Structure 1
Amino acid sequence: MAQLSTRDIAYTVDGTRMLGMLVAPEGAHGLPAVVLFHDAFGLGEDAIAAAHRIARLGFAVFAADVWGDRVTPTDESQIGPLIGGMVGDRPRWLARVAAAHATAAGQPEIDGASLVSMGFCFGGSSALEHLRAGGGSRAVIAIHPGLDLLADGWDEAHPGARVLLCAGAADPMATAEQRDALEAALTGAGIDWEEHLYSGTRHAFTSPKAVRSPMPDVVAYHPRNAMRAWAATETFLLELLAEPAAVPA
């Protein structure tokens, strides 16, 4: 197994310093890459561990910083204002997501024409929202995203992209109605999609932090389905690795 190298990468969006992290096999150059978006808790240990896991499959991974200065909230009371600040100013949110893609594409380890956008929870919403607004990701992987955060209108989305959605059937932030609407929007935009839906499973089901959830009816860790979602993710990524790289036109 190849050794992995890591380095911090600072970039700026509208005067705000962002501090992302690149994880890639040592000596890598021009690899297909995943732009990884963290959940509400920021670019901390969980997101960095996910980046390493993906890099071991043969990808370069750019773990983005959406909050800025690598803020990692430690209290639920901090999370609402952070997410609300993005959703309430969608151009700022999309600019931060787009800047992460542009920064990733500029790294020598990365093939800028072969970017996959991936995220958990808020990060999954970020990846889908970037695609909806015309971002040129080759594919999107959204793990228990908040579908309630997405705006309407997929007219700008580029056909030819692929989407993997892993969601809990009991997730109040990705209801059956919201999933149906997303499926219809993706189909209408000419986007190839697949969905893995897990019964009895709520929001943030891959996050070990959710074991201590104060609202288990909303957020709850589900270890078996966390493993299933990772298996689906790895299968999806390995399929992409075997295919010619092409950003949707």
Structure 2
Amino acid sequence: MRRILLTLAVSLATLPAVAAIQQAPLEWESGGKTFSGVLLYDDAGDARPGVLMVPNWMGVTDAAIAQARDVAGAGYVVLVADMYGKGIRPADSDEARKQVQAVFADGGVTARERAGDALAALRGQAGALPLDPGRVAAIGYCFGGTVALEMARAGADVDGVVSFHGGLGSSAPASAQSPVATSVLVLNGADDTSVPDEAILAFQEEMDAAGADWQLVNFSGAAHCFTHPEDAGKTGNCRYDARSARRAFEMMRDFLGERFQAPGG
């Protein structure tokens, strides 16, 4: 019995530490305003890549934080980015629409600036958190996906960009004169009426003209919001699709894994 207990004790002592997801607020400045997001990361292991996550038009919500927790659990330091300003949290879709319109009122200049400052705030956590500031990507959902693509067009210093059911158009599209240097993955619902075929074609032509390394995946039967469990059971264009969401997240993980291992990435 003594030998069994000793063997068990040695075995337990050699097991790897169990990581716990930590959550902490983070504030930063942009354009003279204060912004307030949320950091999520596990508390075990060495420095790992960072992910700037721009949520949907409802902003920094419990649902957005839950999604970020899943991403952090895959081995990343995640910042859920606030795009509206500290204390501005839309109560419904009407309020959210007004905030989105304000962010894009100048053709996306404000969106790019705020996203860039949030990215700098994330990188600024290197040393305080287990973050490798040389390996950072941006992802976004719906409105956030649109913002992530604007970051790619603006030449943001990121290893890759992922858009989940985001809008594809831009007031300042990329071109041969303003090329897209980072890799882009667009995950789109094939039945999303807010992204018609002509928008997809225009995006493809834009990315080709800009010399981008891009992929666009259409998920059959999926509409807008297809990665959001809070929209389960809804009808219309905004509805959750578990199968497509699972596949999309797997594609994101594969994409980020490749980008963070790539030379210079």
Q: What secondary structure, in the 3-state scheme, does the structure 2 residue paired with 1:147 have?
A: coil
Q: How far 1:77 sits from its partner (Å)?
A: 1.4
Cα deviations by residue, 1:55-98 (Å, 9 ceiling, x for unpaired): 11211111111111153323121121111111112222211111
Q: 1:217 aligns with which of 227, 232, 236?
A: 236
Does the 8 Å CA contact 2:25/2:39 hold for their aligned counterparts? yes
1:153 aligns with 2:170: no
Q: Is the 8 A contact 1:120 1:145 kept in 2?
A: yes
Which whole-Å CA distance do the structure 1 matches of 2:251 and 2:186 have between them? Answer: 9
Aligned match of 1:66 in 83, 86, 94? 83
Indicate if the aligned counterparts of 2:180 and 2:207 stay in contact, CA closer than 8 A: no
Secondary structure at the aligned position of 1:98 is classed as: helix
Q: Is the 8 A contact 1:42 1:70 kept in 2?
A: no
- Aligned residue number for residue 128 of structure 1: 149
2:195 is the alignment partner of 1:178: no
| Percent of pairs with identical residues | 28
State the TM-score, normalized to the length of structure 2. Answer: 0.84
Contact 2:50 2:137 in 1 (8 A): yes
The reply to whether residue 3 of structure 1 matches residue 20 of structure 2 is yes
Give unmatched runs, 5+ long, in structure 2: 1-17
- Which protein shows a greater Rg? 2
The one-letter code of the counterpart of 2:173 is G
Counterpart position of 1:15:
32
Say whether 1:228 aligns with 2:242. no
Aligned residues: 242
Deviates more, 1:25-34 or 1:80-89: 25-34
Matched, 1:46 2:63: yes
Higher mean Cα deviation, 25-34 or 100-109? 25-34
TM-score (norm. length: structure 1): 0.89
Q: Which residue of 1 aligns with 2:212?
A: 191
Aligned pairs for 1:137-148 (under 5 A) are 137-148=158-169
Distance in 2, Cα, partners of 1:70 & 1:56? 27
- Structure 1 residues 242 and 8: CA distance shift in structure 2, 3 A: same
Structure 2 CA distance, aligned partners of 1:237 and 1:74? 33
Partner amino acid, structure 2, of 1:194:
Q
Q: CA distance change for structure 1 residues 245 and 111 in 2, over 3 Å: closer, same or farther?
A: farther
Distance 1:236 1:153 in 2: 23
1:37 paired residue among 44, 54, 62? 54
Quick one: structure 1 residues 64 and 70, their matched pair in 2 at CA, closer, same or farther if it must change by over 3 Å?
farther
CA shift in 2, pair 1:131/1:36, >3 Å: same
Q: Which runs of structure 1 show a deviation greater than 6 angstroms over 4 or more consecutive aligned residues?
A: none
Aligned letter for 2:162? Answer: I
Match of 1:106 in 2: 124
The answer for unaligned runs of 5 or more in structure 1 is none
- In 2, distance between residues paired with 1:103 and 1:226? 29
What is the root-mean-square deviation in Å for CA atoms of aligned residues?
Answer: 1.9
Q: Which moved more, 1:234-243 or 1:7-16?
A: 234-243
Whole-angstrom CA distance in 1 between matches of 2:149 and 2:168: 9
CA contact 1:2–1:26 (8 Å) conserved in 2? yes
